[in-house]
Amino acid sequence: MDKEYIVTITEVLQRKVKIMAADKENAEYIVEQQYYNQEHILNENDLTAQSFKAKAA
């Protein structure tokens, strides 16, 4: 007899953004602000990994 399972799907999206900044922290801050302002919208082309994990319900 079949059992019920819950399967968690995890996707990792990743994009490299080249930017000029005074230092590493400032570069991260600028790109983070751009991301939250929807200047960088990751999609299926940015998919770098996926995994599937099942456990009994």
Per-residue pLDDT tens digits of the chain, which is 57 residues long: 999 999 999 999 999 999 999 999 999 999 999 999 999 999 999 999 999 999 999
30 class by beta-carbon count within 10 Å (0-12 exposed, 13-18 middle, 19+ buried): middle
| pLDDT given at position 8 | 98
| pLDDT given at position 55 | 98
Apex CA 11: angle with CA 10 and CA 12, to 5°? 130
| pLDDT given at position 34 | 99
How many separate domains does the chain show? 1
- Tokens 């939250």, residue located: 36
Q: What is the pTM of this model?
A: 0.77
Please state the length of the chain: 57
Residue 47 domain boundaries = 5-56
